[in-house]
Amino acid sequence: MKKAKLFKKLENKKVECICCQRRCVIENGRSGLCGVRKNIDGNLNLMVYGKVIAAHIDPIEKKPLYHFLPGSKIFSIGTVGCNFRCSFCQNWDISQVTANAKNLEKICNEGQELSPKEIVQYCLENEIPSIAYTYNEPTIFSEYAHDIGVLARKNGIKNVYVSNGYESEECLKYMRDFCDAINIDIKSFSQKFYAKECGGVLLDGIKNTIKSAHKMGFWIECTTLIIPEMNDSDEELSKIAKFIFSVSADIPWHVTAFHPDYKLTDAISTPASTLEKAYQIGKKSGLHYVYAGNISGMNHSDTICKKCGKILVKRGYMNCFDNEIVVLKNGSGKCPECGEKIAGIWK
């Protein structure tokens, strides 16, 4: 447990948590909706600081990030808790364990004790070039991620958030000290969907985060988990693609398949034909990079030059097999065939 940074003191020992857009007002002795940020005597404390519930070395493509150090490994860590209540959560066993729990402190202390120094040292010893804050929503443990990330950056290691996109403006500014890239979920383009299926969340909040994060200079990629009969209509997919295009045509859009889980075990899995449809909608909307990569047999995971059509990065199910992008000294990339700039962070 450690005193948080992202909060404001209020009267009568109440605090306002400002790490996410819910901005929970928390009475003394209580926790916010995420369950891991507790008011103790008028100060907000992060109960999962240093407590890692999941840690793995993943391919960067699994995040998914396709325009950020392709073919590299990334050390992925997460804690318990979440500021969303998604009915279709794929990691519900750790993200939703704090929801309505009676003994939050016990739950928050169940993770493996890992200090920022230990995490960075592990990455250095194993030559892992980046760290992902993922599995649950990293926004809620931003102070822990910050301390890891600042030390990591000093040692040449990059940092990534895999996020639902509900960061506050204050949190995004705080992240600039250490975070290089964010993969942001666009779960739907329907306010009704976000309110019902994600626990009273505002769609405009996610849209504002994407626009703000892009302006601040974070590398952004977006992901939509497509759930049959819930967010898979042509109209909704077109709205998502057009919104991303309005921010930047260079933002990659990952359309991924849903598998029944958590509270949606009766729903059907996403067919490949739906991902193909979403891919075509994204391309017709003007997006330069659309990917459909988590169903075996799909052929839309390669990075292709938008100008000459050359295959630049060859992938197969979350793995990179070949990378022909010419990397410049500043980390940007270009096509070796025609010289077209390829957006991303390649070094």
pTM of the entire predicted model: 0.97
Q: Provide the pLDDT for residue 94.
A: 97
More confident residue, 81 or 299: 81
Alpha helices by DSSP H, the chain: 92-95, 104-108, 116-125, 142-154, 169-175, 191-197, 203-216, 234-247, 272-284
More confident residue, 60 or 318: 60
210 shares its domain with 332: no
Task: For residue range 209-230, list pLDDT tens digits in order.
Answer: 999 999 999 999 999 999 999 9
Q: Provide the pLDDT for residue 298.
A: 79
236 shares its domain with 272: yes
| Percent of the chain surpassing pLDDT 70 | 100
174 shares its domain with 259: yes
Task: For residue range 292-343, list pLDDT tens digits in order.
Answer: 978 877 789 999 999 999 999 999 877 898 999 999 988 899 999 999 999 9
**CA nearest to 278, candidates 320, 247, 232:** 232
Report the alpha-carbon angle 33-35-41, nearest 5.
Answer: 95
The SS3 call for residue 124 is helix
27 shares its domain with 87: no
Q: What range does the domain containing 27 cover?
A: 2-44
The dihedral over CA atoms of 87, 89, 93, 99, expressed in degrees to the nearest 10, equals -50
Residue that is last in its domain, among 44, 59, 76: 44
221 shares its domain with 333: no
300 shares its domain with 315: no
**CA nearest to 80, candidates 63, 64, 92:** 92
178 shares its domain with 39: no
80 shares its domain with 148: yes
DSSP per-residue letters across 218-270: -EEEEEEEE-TTTS--HHHHHHHHHHHHHH-TTS-EEEEE----TT-TTSPPP
88 shares its domain with 182: yes
Largest pairwise CA distance in the chain? 65
Query: How long, in residues, is the chain?
Result: 347
152 shares its domain with 206: yes
Q: Provide the pLDDT for residue 297.
A: 73
Would the pLDDT of 142 be above 90? yes
Which whole number is the average pLDDT over 69-73?
Answer: 96
Q: Provide the pLDDT for residue 114.
A: 98
188 shares its domain with 93: yes
197 shares its domain with 249: yes
Looking at the structure of the chain, the number of domains it has is 3
Say which DSSP state 325 is in.
P
Q: How far apart are CA 76 and CA 140, in angstroms?
A: 16
